[in-house]
Amino acid sequence: MVSAGDFRNGMTINVEGVVYQVIEFQHVKPGKGAAFVRTKLRNVIQGGIAEKTFRPTEKFDEARIDRKDMQYLYNDGDLYYFMDCETYDQIALSKDIIGGALKFVKENELVKVVSHEGKAFAVEPPLFVELEVIETEPGFAGNTAQGATKPAIVETGAQVMVPLFVNIGDVLRIDTRTEEYMSRV
């Protein structure tokens, strides 16, 4: 059990049967009346954001979220298949659970499958990936005074804004959290 006065960013709690992750919290002590904790919570199963206030003495069960390394195998339309590298068990997740998480992930790469009580609800890609550019306009040196960018399509089909000197066939390092170009490899 954890009290509202002990909330920390990133903590997962169970509020009335719903699992939330604490995004922000603020202890408020008004001049008049009792203190309270104002929070911004993200529903980890459905993804919605809620703002709630609690008394600092309210207690909640801490929810256990499991992150397991699994290999992304392939997709066949609406289902995406993953394999546990230790037990070789395979699971299939629907497109609405995956969302845009696999935008920069090639087949056979490792991802983290996030679950609560055995039910997978999200997939986390690696923080950085290296992908080859398969389509982009040619860039010309010296045609801009500032750091201009152009769109490029990488081998997974995702589009990234890159500097003008990037060409087809270049391998790029991409940050999957911000979906931004980092460097050439």
List where CATH 2.40.50.140 sits in the chain. Answer: 66-124, 128-184
Task: Answer yes or no: pTM beyond 0.85.
Answer: no
Which residues lie across from 153 on neighbouring strands?
135, 159
Tens digit of each residue's pLDDT (9 = 90 or more) over 51-88: 999 999 999 998 888 889 999 999 888 899 999 989 99
Q: Which two tokens stand for residue 67?
A: 């992150």
Asked whether 51 and 41 are in contact (CB, 8 A), the reply is yes
Sheet architecture: strand order including 66-75:
90-94, 79-84, 66-75, 110-116, 119-124
Q: Where are the alpha helices (DSSP H) in the chain?
A: 95-98
Distance CA 119, CA 158 (A): 28
Tens digit of each residue's pLDDT (9 = 90 or more) over 101-110: 888 999 999 9
Single out the residue of 22, 20, 19 nearest to residue 9, CA to CA: 22
List where CATH 2.30.30.30 sits in the chain. Answer: 2-62
Distance CA 104, CA 108 (A): 12
Which residues lie across from 116 on neighbouring strands?
119
Residue 144 binned pLDDT confidence (cut-offs 50, 70, 90): low
Fold of 66-124: OB fold (Dihydrolipoamide Acetyltransferase, E2P) (2.40.50)
Q: In CATH, what number does 128-184 get? A: 2.40.50.140
Which residue, chain included where needed, has tokens 């009580």? 117
Q: Which CATH number fits domain 2-62: 2.30.30.30, 3.20.20.70, 2.30.30.90, 3.40.605.10?
A: 2.30.30.30
